[in-house]
């Protein structure tokens, strides 16, 4: 407040000035929210009434902070941006990531523009800001919604301490194709799990009071179907049917709307010939009208102007017209709205009310954030010094990281290892890597700042343990860079002899292999998702001399590792776990933490299976009924997953028994109760994700063979039993039907429970309206 009061408000009506200086705190409780929303709407309407057309358009402009923002830029392009900031013709900035930078930019607007409307500052806060948590796909493997909310709240706390008030996340694109690099950024292949995780992340970012200085506006992305790009190639065309769109792609976005997400980002792809940025059916009809959502839509980087390359718009002015009419509110670095909207209004081709509507949506979020009360509320140097990369944050990161680890295989109980093991060989191109664990989309992480696996192991074992290390081979990729393609060298076999020699004399080999950080992420699509040839050769040579191998897989996508998975007695999926990676992995390897992660995505046997997912349709020929060739299969490989969705082992065992349903059927308004008793039959305490699936046996549209409908994470001591109960009601069995609406249909169903999507515990029931 004190920072803002000193600035001159002349030129703004006294009524609006008064509104700026007193904004009540935003609350999500129903009564307060209703009153606050009414107050905010009055303020937004009052402000819009005194804005010029240029100022309204300015709110729709998002610039990249691509110069030293502690002073005016020197180059021509950025000088133009700077002048537009001074004139109040910019609504938001991205990639300004310090208190000094954001404060200078905010001062530029507040001290020079007529109406002094504060800026939003956005940034890709994907899996942490400075303290880095597991990549989103990895964190989703925890199935721990409280942990995910906690990590997002810490990311928000750190980002806001650096001047950021708007996060470009969470990403909630459903993806079934591991070739797509951005699979690392989402929650996997299932719409139910992705919906739950999306809400958890939004709650972490936005908290229960968006006006607090340690919460920020979330941005659900990418709307929509971005993860269905043909061939898994980023930015590629999407061809998807209406029913698949509604039943698979849109549910996480609807969940985000219901959770009060402040903004959404449109996607790069086209859908059946219409670029998403210009798709009225998606943006205006479904999101804004049918779902009655009051936030704003921002384009992805330059995606409005890219409609020219799509062949959908003839120039930037045409692209601006298509996008604003379709419902896209803010132009991220496309330079289309500033180039074309004013001209379109003056020529009578565009109703100014569409621009007003878009500006209102953006202003509404600024009011909710409390920016009009204090534009500098996120510019606190003390917070920037004290609230970032703290010991407490790193401890939480370690806890979330170990919860995200999935034990894929553990034959003969090779794991957990004993801390007093006599000799241990730590081998592999990722064993002493301190950068790859940070992952792609790494925020403001310091390069090479992660705890390496080798460091984590050395800090865990007894002093008497002999640890030998060899890199073995290079990972097989070139310079690490977010903006350059990685050049893969698949023929470097140097160092294998040294690795084999130390493996011969070790009780156990820990082999760290997988992918470099920037092999996944945006624009990192690959046709080959196997290990590089040097890594495969390294594994084979070591396995020939020592079969006690623990494979530690570090990767940003599901990989095709059939050969390794068949031979290695133990395989641990560790993803890219972030700042505390090595410590978290060591916690699991040596039994300080019993692994509890479950896969949020299926692992293929071969890249040729992709796209691959558990909730498939049955087809008309699902089985080899007559012993002939004419059924749905591959002739050279199994068609199921190597490791299925929901799979994940523990150092203990869980037995499911007494699976019951309280009635054979139910009707509208009623429900069923399903219960199962889970017992820890092992000697260690552990956690189990109890998963409930349903199959709709027939419908107005063909239905998947199984769909996740609920899950519960439980803790059990040795020999302890818990009865887990689920409710099935009309909403549980709803889907987007042939009637083009969400509804439950009469029919017969099967309900399944278990520890993965492969469960075969089932009971029949029926529903009738």
Catalytic sites, residue numbers:
300
Nearest to 471 by CA among 530, 535, 421: 535
Pairing status of strand 423-427 against strand 466-470: parallel
Please state, in angstroms and rounded to a whole number, the distance separating the CA atoms of residues 147 and 453: 23
Sort residue 395 into left (φ over 0), alpha (ψ -120 to 50) or beta: alpha
SS (H, E, C) 249-293: HCHHHHHHHHCCCCEEEECCCEECCEEHHHCHHHHHHHHHHHCCC
282 with 224: CB under 8 angstroms? yes
- Rounded distance, CA 709 to CA 50, Å? 50
Return the structure tokens found at 666. 């139910």
Instruction: Report DSSP state, residue 247.
Output: I
How many C-beta neighbours within 10 Å does residue 191 have? 24
Helix and strand element counts for the chain (H, E): 23, 26
Compute the distance between CA of residue 277 and CA of residue 396 in angstroms, rounded to an integer. Answer: 37
686 vs 147: CA distance, rounded Å: 17
Give me the sheet containing 466-470, strands edge to edge. Answer: 406-410, 570-573, 549-554, 508-514, 423-427, 466-470
Which is nearest to 756 in space by CA: 638, 600, 628, 619? 600
- Report d(CA 476, CA 531) in Å as an integer: 10
Q: Among candidates 563, 579, 368, which has minimal Cα distance to 456?
A: 579
Per-residue CA distances from 33 to 2, 30, 292, 368, 397 (Å): 26, 5, 16, 10, 33
């Amino acid at each position: 407040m004190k920072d803002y009061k000193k600035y001159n408000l002349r030129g703004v009506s006294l009524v609006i000035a008064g509104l700026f200086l007193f904004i009540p705190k935003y609350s999500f409780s129903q009564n307060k929210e209703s009153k606050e929303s009414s107050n905010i709407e009055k303020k937004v309407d009052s402000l819009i009434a005194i804005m010029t057309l240029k100022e309204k358009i300015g709110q729709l402009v998002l610039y990249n902070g691509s110069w030293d923002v502690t002073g005016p830029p020197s180059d021509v392009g950025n000088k133009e941006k700077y002048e537009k900031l001074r004139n109040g013709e910019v609504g938001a900035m991205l990639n300004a990531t310090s208190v000094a930078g954001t404060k200078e930019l905010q001062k530029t607007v507040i001290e020079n523009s007529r109406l002094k409307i504060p800026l939003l500052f956005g940034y890709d806060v994907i899996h942490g800001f400075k303290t880095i948590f597991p990549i989103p796909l990895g964190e989703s493997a925890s199935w721990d919604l409280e942990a995910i909310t906690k990590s997002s709240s810490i990311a928000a706390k750190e980002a806001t301490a650096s001047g950021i008030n708007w996060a470009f996340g969470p990403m909630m694109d459903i993806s079934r194709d591991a070739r797509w690099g951005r699979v690392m950024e989402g929650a996997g292949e299932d719409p139910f799990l992705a919906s739950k995780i999306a809400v958890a992340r939004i709650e972490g970012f936005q908290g229960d009071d968006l006006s607090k200085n340690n919460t920020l506006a979330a941005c659900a992305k990418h709307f929509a179907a971005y993860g269905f790009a043909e061939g898994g190639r980023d930015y590629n065309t999407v061809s998807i049917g209406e029913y698949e769109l509604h039943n698979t792609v849109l549910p996480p976005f609807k969940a985000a709307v219901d959770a009060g997400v402040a903004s959404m980002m449109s996607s790069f792809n086209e859908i059946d010939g219409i670029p998403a940025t210009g798709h009225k059916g998606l943006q205006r009809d479904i999101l804004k009208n049918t779902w009655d959502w009051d936030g704003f839509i921002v384009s992805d980087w330059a995606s409005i102007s890219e409609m020219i390359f799509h062949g959908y718009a003839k120039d930037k002015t045409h692209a601006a017209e298509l996008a604003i009419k379709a419902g896209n509110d803010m132009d991220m670095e496309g330079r289309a709205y500033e180039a074309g909207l004013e001209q379109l209004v003056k020529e009578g081709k565009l109703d100014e009310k569409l621009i007003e509507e878009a500006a209102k949506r953006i202003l509404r979020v600024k009011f909710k954030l409390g920016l009009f009360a204090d534009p500098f509320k996120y510019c606190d140097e003390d917070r920037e010094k004290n609230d970032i990369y703290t010991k407490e944050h790193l401890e939480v990161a370690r806890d979330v990281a170990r919860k995200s680890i999935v034990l894929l295989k553990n034959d003969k109980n090779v794991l957990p290892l004993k801390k007093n093991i006599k000799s241990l060989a730590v081998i592999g191109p990722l064993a002493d890597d301190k950068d790859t664990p940070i992952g792609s989309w790494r925020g403001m992480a310091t390069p090479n700042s992660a705890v390496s696996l080798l460091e984590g192991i050395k800090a865990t074992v007894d002093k008497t343990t002999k640890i030998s290390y060899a890199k073995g081979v290079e990972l097989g990729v070139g310079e690490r860079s977010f903006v350059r393609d990685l050049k893969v060298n698949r023929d470097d076999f140097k160092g294998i002899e040294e690795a084999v020699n130390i493996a011969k004399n070790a009780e156990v080999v820990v082999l760290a292999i997988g992918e470099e950080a920037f092999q996944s992420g945006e624009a990192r699509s690959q046709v080959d998702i196997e290990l590089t040839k040097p890594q495969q050769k390294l594994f084979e040579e070591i396995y020939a001399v020592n079969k006690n191998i623990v494979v530690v897989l570090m990767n940003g996508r599901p990989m095709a590792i059939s050969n390794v998975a068949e031979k290695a007695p133990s395989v641990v999926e560790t993803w890219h776990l972030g700042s505390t990676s090595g410590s978290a992995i060591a916690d699991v390897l040596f039994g300080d933490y019993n692994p509890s992660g479950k896969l949020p995505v299926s692992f293929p046997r071969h890249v040729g299976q992709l796209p691959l997912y558990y909730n498939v349709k049955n087809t008309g020929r699902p089985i080899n009924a007559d012993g002939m060739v004419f059924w749905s299969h591959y002739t050279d490989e199994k068609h199921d997953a190597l490791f299925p969705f929901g799979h994940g082992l523990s150092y203990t065992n869980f037995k499911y028994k007494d699976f019951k349903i309280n009635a054979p059927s139910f009707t509208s308004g009623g429900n069923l109760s399903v219960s199962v008793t889970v017992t820890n039959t092992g000697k260690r305490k552990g956690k189990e994700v109890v998963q409930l699936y349903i199959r709709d046996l027939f419908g107005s549209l063909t239905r998947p063979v199984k769909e996740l409908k609920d899950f519960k994470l439980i803790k059990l001591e040795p020999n302890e039993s818990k009865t887990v109960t689920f409710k099935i009601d009309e909403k549980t069995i709803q889907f987007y039907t042939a009637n083009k609406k969400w509804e439950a249909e009469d029919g017969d169903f099967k309900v399944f429970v278990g520890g993965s999507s492969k469960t075969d515990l089932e009971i029949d029931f029926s529903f009738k309206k």
